[in-house]
A = this chain, B = another copy of it.
């Protein structure tokens, strides 16, 4: 366990807004990081099972990406290029076409939105509305798509919704796959959309994550995702898959949906797309729906050239062959096994999620919070998820070596044991 973690944080208290969050439960002042390890100002080491909420799928400061970035900067490579043509963007697009789109038979165009996931979602929602001339977008219980006004309308979380302090328009909420016992949510949506008096306006799009990262690691079945595609097209709507958290290998394949036999009209990506944790977001859109006029959706930072450099390097390093993907399959199994062991400790606990995006629903937010807090004391950075924060969620870098994985799980297991022991004592 890290010693002497009391660093000077007065500048944050004095000048940073109360909206700050992660630093409240994990108050260390972090300075450096390599792979799956973080180090604070006093040299304390932490294992990272959070990975910037899946923004660091290839770990911190991957040496090849880092070298490419330093090389770019050192040679006065452009840092900011609006949406001008740049060599860095061209190289990224070429790599993305060669190693991602072509092998998956995807004819999508790439639109660089503002470099936040929310911005990509906003662009997707606007585009679907422009394409269809309709306003209504179907979103789901526990979906999380960002907190700017357009995206927030689609986000289910009440705490975030409340932050807008005004009503949000243009979204109809439906139960997600498996949400309500006995409810076939695909059939219900299809029936309501098909009913002339169903009261749901004709939709511009159906929008969801295949695995709800913030909503509790609820994983949609391939069958349900296919049905959503069918329902969308039957009712003249676009299928938008928000792959911001579940994409870039997190579920075991580059896209979370690629083994589901669907072809989304729009895919949103962010978080790990730069490969290095740099702000970058994009939207993939089928050519027939690529109808924004020049700069109709714009933004100053839509050409983060540094991110293009690392994104290209990441694509080439991890996705040019299938070696990495095969590794992910193995690690997913390892993760499932390890989490099963932890789940066995907690009465009623349930495994959630899939691939490298799994967690344990321990039944209560309070218990989950205590386990994560205890783990942090022992040097593991990890967070909860779910409507009541009741899921202990593992989002380790995909590149985490097996030994570190094991070390992290050992901490987590011990944390669970400690907390459950304390609870048992308190109950006696």
Contacts and interface: CB of A to CB of B under 8 A. Distances in A.
Interface in A173-221: 173, 175, 179-184, 187-188, 191-192, 195-202, 214-216
Contacts of A179: 191
A333 to B, nearest CB: 28
A20 B116 contact: no
Given A184-B182, A198-B173, A80 B52 contact: yes
Interface in A126-155: 126, 129-130, 133, 135-136, 139-144, 146-151, 153, 155
Interface in A288-304: 290-301, 304
Interface size range of chain A in the complex:
35 or more
A337 B115 CA distance: 38
A41 B87 contact: yes
Contacts of A122: 147-149
25 contacts: A8-B90, A15-B110, A17-B110, A17-B285, A17-B290, A17-B292, A19-B290, A21-B83, A21-B294, A21-B298, A28-B84, A32-B77, A41-B87, A52-B80, A61-B76, A79-B278, A80-B278, A122-B147, A135-B166, A166-B170, A173-B198, A179-B191, A270-B300, A278-B279, A279-B304
Nearest to A71: B70
A277 interface: yes
A55 B300 contact: yes
Interface string A216-236: 100000000000000000000
A17 B73 contact: no
Given A26-B84, A73-B70, A163-B130, A146 B199 contact: no
Contacts of A158: 196-199, 201-202
| Residue of A17, A136, A195 with highest tally of chain B CB at under 10 A | A17
Contacts of A84: 22-23, 26, 28, 30
A109 B188 CA distance: 39
Nearest to A167: B135
A165 B134 CA distance: 8
